[in-house]
Amino acid sequence: MLQHQVTLAQPVSYTGIGLHSGQEVHARFCPAPADTGIVIVRTDLPERPQIRAQAANVTSTLRATTVEEHGCKVFTIEHFMSALHALRIDNCYVELDAEEPPVADGASLTYFRLLQSAGMAELDANRHEIVIDRVYRIDDEKTGRFVMALPYDGFRVSFTSINPHKLIGIQYEDFHIDAATYEREIAPARTIAYEQEIEQLRQMGLGLGGSLDNVIIYNDEGWINPLHFADELVRHKIVDLIGDLRLAGLMRGHFIAAASGHALNTQLAKQIAAAHL
């Protein structure tokens, strides 16, 4: 059955600092016409250039997903893209006055509830949902990591996280995802960092906005701040996967991943998008 596209009923705003840049940034999510998709507007630059949040525009996956168009880029978009995907929002302008959105809670719950508070407006146009009708798969043959998509009547994610640290090890979660399940089980899961890596990241100009308020930090003795879930790492991996998949469009299928990250996720999104042009 055909569904109509939706956008936000009204604009909503949020101000915070970027996870990697550490800079204050104002984000505004606005209604957009049918067939706009998700478009990021750099309001800090002359002529307010627009960057389409599409798989073809991914230019980097180092610690975050970056999209770039017309010589302008935005990075760490995966958390708000994940919330947009979970709420099945087809069209939205995302206005940012910096090249990275706010980290907020280090998860996607802040964005999910912000977007939900805007309400939804139905548009007079049919939704272009991607229905997975065959197997798609991306492998990293050196490490054995992979991510794949299978036909499924709904939106389901199965993820196995493999971390050599004794504190984490192997974690697995499997969710049939609707908005309520996402809000309860997935959206609160935060970014995770190993304490010994933090200084190295900062020397690379990364993680400058990270703190105990938005990142779970662990060392060889244990967790420095309390967890929202015993397996919060794998749940955050699911947040990221859902956000990266949104770069191909709204989807229906079963997505299975083993130790996947932004690089494999966005390659899968590119493969699916190319097959549904």
Residues with catalytic function: 262
In angstroms, what CA-CA distances link 266 with 39, 129, 190?
17, 18, 20
CB atoms within 10 A of CB 54: 19
C-alpha of 104 from chain center: 13
Single-letter amino acid, residue 117: S
How does DSSP classify residue 100?
S
Q: What whole-number distance in Å separates Cα of residue 101 and Cα of residue 27?
A: 7
Quote the distance between the C-alpha of residue 251 and its chain's center: 14
User: What is the identity of the amino acid at 87?
Assistant: L
Beta bridge partners of 148: 137, 256
Question: In angstroms, rounded to a whole number, what is the distance separating the alpha carbons of residues 52 and 204?
Answer: 27
Name which of 267, 248, 40 is nearest 155 in CA terms.
Answer: 248
From the number of C-beta atoms within 10 Å of its C-beta (0-12, 13-18, 19+), residue 33 rates as exposed
- Please give the Cα distance from 267 to 244 (Å, whole number): 9
**Helical packing angle, 262-275 and 232-245, nearest 10°:** 30
DSSP class of residue 106 equals S
